[in-house]
Structure 1
Amino acid sequence: MTTTAPDTEAGRVAALLRAFLAGQDATGTVDAVRRAGSGRSRDNWLFDLVDDGAREPLILRTDPDGGLIDTDRSVEFAVLKGLEGSGLPTPVARWLDADGSELGRPSLIMRRLGGVCDYRVLRDDNRPLGERIGLARTFCELLAGVHAVDRRAGALDATLTDPGPEAARAELDRWAGILRADQLEPWPELEYAAVVLGERAPRSTGTVLVHADFKPGNILLDGDRVTALLDWELAHLGDPLEDLGWVTQPLRAGEHTIPGAWEAADLVAHYEHTTGSTVDRAALAWWVAFSSFKTAVMQVSGLRAFLEGRADEPYRPTRRVLAEVLDAVLEDS
C-alpha cells in the first residue's frame, strides 16, 4: 500500500533524487515522490521521472535503519541487470548508489511495474477455488523458470559464487553465522537445530539461480497474470531444492498452499511435471527443515533491530516457530 509521507520527508528524498540523477546525466524532472511502506527489509519510495511529457514510473529501494536481514544493493542490482534478457518478469534496474554516499543509504533505482501484491492470494475466499489453484500452478511454473535461467548468458556467474555440491552446508553456515551475530540471548533450540542440520547436510547435484524468498508477497498480479517477480536481494547460486523447501515449509503454508486443494505434495508434483525432473524427497526434507531454521533466524535479527531502535516492528521466534523448526529437523533426522 502506498502511504503519504510528511512533506518534509518526501521533500528530502526528492532533493536527494534530483541531485543523484543529475550526477547520472539523467534528464527529466523528479515528480510525485511518495513512500510505499517500509516493508520488512527495504525502504521503498515511488516517484516518476518526467521528460518532455514522457513519464517513467520508478522506485527507489533504500536500506532501512533496521530490517530482518542485511543484504547488498550492488549484488541485487547486478542480478536484476543479469536477468533483463531472461524472459522473467523482473524490473529493469536503472541506477545504483552502492555505498549510500549520495542517497544517504545504499540504494538502487528500478523501473516500477504494474500490478498488485497479495501475500494471501491463495487463501482469498473471494476468488473462486479453480482460479486460486491456477495461480498456484502459475507460481510454481514461475519458480521453475527462475531455476531454468542461463546464469552464464546474463553473466550471473561472474557476480554470484557457485557453491557446487556444498550448497546446503554453505547456506547453513551463513544463517548460523547470522544467528550468532544477531542474537541477544542464547537460543539453544536453534543451536541444536544447526548442529543436527549440519550432521545431515545433503550434497547438491546441480546449481541454479535461487531466489531465496519466493512467495506471493514478492509477486505482482494483474488479475490472474503475473506482472513482476520482485525482491531479488537474497538471490544466489545454489540448490534448486532450497527454493522448493522454502515454499513447502510449514511456517509458510498460509502463503503457498490451499487446504485440501493445493498442498505441499501437489506443489512438488507440479514442479516435477514442469521441469521434467525428479525431486529427491529425502534431500527436500532437509531443505524444509533448513527453511524453518532460516525463518526463525530472520526473526532473531528483526528482534535485535527493534530493540536497537532501527525497526518499528518487533520480531521474536515464538513457541510455535521453535516447535516447527524442531519438528522439521527431527523429522529430517
Structure 2
Amino acid sequence: MTAAELDLAGLRNLLDRERPGLVNGPLTAELITGGKSNLTYAVTDGAASWILRRPPLGHVLATAHDMGREYRVMAALADTAVPVPRMLLPHEDPPFYLMEYVEGTVFRTPEQTAGLGRERARTISHHLVDVLVTLHAVDPATVGLADFGRPDGYLERQLRRWSQQLEASKSRDLPDLDTLVERLHSTVPRTSRHSIVHGDYRLDNTIVREDRIAAVVDWEMATLGDPLADIGLLTVYWDLSMANPHNPVGGGVTREAGFPTSDELVAYYAEQSGVEPERLPWYRAFGHFKLAVIAEGIHYRDLRGLTVGPGFDRIGELVVPLARSGLELLS
C-alpha cells in the first residue's frame, strides 16, 4: 500500500478550491507506518506539510473507519486544553480528512525510548495522564458533542459487544477468558459520570514534543461513555510493553527507559482526577478482556491465512496471560 494510491492531482484541485492559498507547489505523499487500521499519509508541497487520514483500502464496515467522526471530535476539542491537531478539511466521498502536521515523536519502540532516562520518562508519563484527565473534564455539550454517543449503559453495551466478538472468533477452549467475562458481567460498576472517551488511549497514539504531549491522535473509537475505561485500557498496553517490549501489539514503555509502573500511573490518575483508586480494578480487568478478545480475533484470522504482516502469528500467545491478569485484578 503506497502513496501512489492517493489521487494527488485531485487532492490539489480540491484544496485549491476549498482552501485557496494553502498549497503552493506539486504535492507528494508518504504512507506513515505504524497504524493497523485507518491509513495515515504525510502530504507536502515541499514547503509545508499536512496529514491525510483515510479508511483502509477495501474496508467493508464504514462505521469502523468513520472519518467524519474522527474529524468531528478533534475539531470540537480544538479550543480546549486537550492538544489535538488543527483540522483543515473534511471530505465525504471518498472519505478522508486533512489536518495540520504536528512536529514531534511517536514513541512506538524500545529503541526510541531507550535514551530517555527516568526523569524524562516520568515527565512524559505524567503529562500523558494529565491530558487524559483534561479530556475527561471537558463537558461534551459545551463543545458541541452532546449527541456524540449514548453514554447511558455504556459499560453494559461494551461488554455485550466484546462478548459477542469473542464468540464469533474463538478457535479454541479458553476457560480463563470465559471466567473473566462472567465475572465482569456480574460486577459491572455504576458509572458515576460520563465524558468524552478516546477509546484507545496509549502513548503511541500521541505525538510527544519536548517531553510533553503535543497532540492526541487516532480518535476512531471515540464516543461518550465512562471515562475510567480509558485509564483501564491504558494500563493494559502499559503492562504489556513493560513485560515484553517486543510484543506484537508494540510500545516503547520499558522499565529500562525509566517509565513508572502502571500502578503508579493509576495512582497519579486517581490523584489528579479525584477518582477513588478502589474503583479502578474492574476497568483494568475490562481492558485486559477487551485486548484479549482483539488478540483472539487476530489469532483466528491468522490461522486462516487472513493476516498480512509480521507478528500476527504470535499474537495468540497474549490471550491467556491477559485473561489471567484480568482475573487477578478482580480478585
The TM-score range, normalised by the shorter chain, is 0.7 to 0.9
Q: How does 1:184-203 map to 2 (within 5 A)?
A: 185-186=171-172, 188-189=174-175, 190-203=177-190
Query: CA–CA distance in 2 between the matches of 1:121 and 1:143?
Result: 23
- 3-state SS in 1 of match to 2:68: helix
> Given the alignment, which residue of 116, 140, 152 partners 2:141?
152
* Change over 3 Å in CA distance of 1:202–1:153 after alignment to 2: same
Q: Give 1:316 deviation, angstroms.
A: 6.0
Q: Say yes or no: does 1:328 pair with 2:326.
A: yes
* Cα shift readout 1:111-147 (whole Å, capped 9, x = no counterpart): 2211111135799342221221122111111111111
Q: Give 1:16 deviation, angstroms.
A: 4.5
Counterpart in 1 of 2:225? 238
* Change over 3 Å in CA distance of 1:321–1:26 after alignment to 2: farther
> Given the alignment, which residue of 2, 27, 38 partners 1:42?
38
1:82–1:154 Cα contact (<8 Å) kept = yes
Q: Give 1:207 deviation, angstroms.
A: 0.6
Alignment length (residue pairs): 312
Query: CA–CA distance in 1 between the matches of 2:111 and 2:188?
Result: 32
Counterpart in 2 of 1:143? 132
Counterpart in 2 of 1:207? 194
Counterpart in 2 of 1:57? 49
- 3-state SS in 1 of match to 2:285: helix
Counterpart in 1 of 2:80? 86
* Cα shift readout 1:251-282 (whole Å, capped 9, x = no counterpart): 3546557489722232122223322x13242x
- 3-state SS in 2 of match to 1:78: helix
**224-233 or 266-275, larger mean C-alpha shift:** 266-275
Query: CA–CA distance in 2 between the matches of 1:11 and 1:317?
Result: 29
> Given the alignment, which residue of 143, 147, 167 partners 2:154?
167
Query: CA–CA distance in 1 between the matches of 2:38 and 2:5?
Result: 20
Query: CA–CA distance in 1 between the matches of 2:319 and 2:133?
Result: 28
> Given the alignment, which residue of 153, 159, 165 partners 1:178?
165
Counterpart in 2 of 1:107? 96
1:305–1:311 Cα contact (<8 Å) kept = no
Following TM superposition, the consecutive aligned residue runs of length 4 or more in structure 1 with deviations greater than 6 angstroms are: none
Q: CA RMSD in A?
A: 3.2
Q: Which amino acid aligns with 2:271?
A: H
Q: Which amino acid aligns with 2:228?
A: L
* Change over 3 Å in CA distance of 1:38–1:285 after alignment to 2: closer
Q: Which amino acid aligns with 1:78?
A: R
- 3-state SS in 2 of match to 1:158: coil
2:29–2:42 Cα contact (<8 Å) kept = yes
Q: Which runs of 5+ in 1 are unaligned?
A: none
Query: CA–CA distance in 1 between the matches of 2:11 and 2:43?
Result: 9
2:174–2:320 Cα contact (<8 Å) kept = no
- 3-state SS in 1 of match to 2:141: coil
* Change over 3 Å in CA distance of 1:261–1:95 after alignment to 2: closer
Query: CA–CA distance in 1 between the matches of 2:110 and 2:315?
Result: 25
Q: Which runs of 5+ in 2 are unaligned?
A: 246-250
Q: Give 1:178 deviation, angstroms.
A: 3.0
Q: Which amino acid aligns with 1:59?
A: I
2:38–2:65 Cα contact (<8 Å) kept = no
Q: Which amino acid aligns with 2:229?
A: E
* Change over 3 Å in CA distance of 1:195–1:206 after alignment to 2: same
Counterpart in 2 of 1:318? 316
% identity of equivalent residues: 23
* Cα shift readout 1:173-199 (whole Å, capped 9, x = no counterpart): 222233344x16355444443232111
Query: CA–CA distance in 1 between the matches of 2:75 and 2:309?
Result: 32
2:49–2:100 Cα contact (<8 Å) kept = yes
Query: CA–CA distance in 2 between the matches of 1:38 and 1:262?
Result: 24
> Given the alignment, which residue of 261, 264, 269 partners 1:263?
261
**322-331 or 231-240, larger mean C-alpha shift:** 322-331
Q: TM-score, normalised by structure 1?
A: 0.80
Counterpart in 1 of 2:292? 296
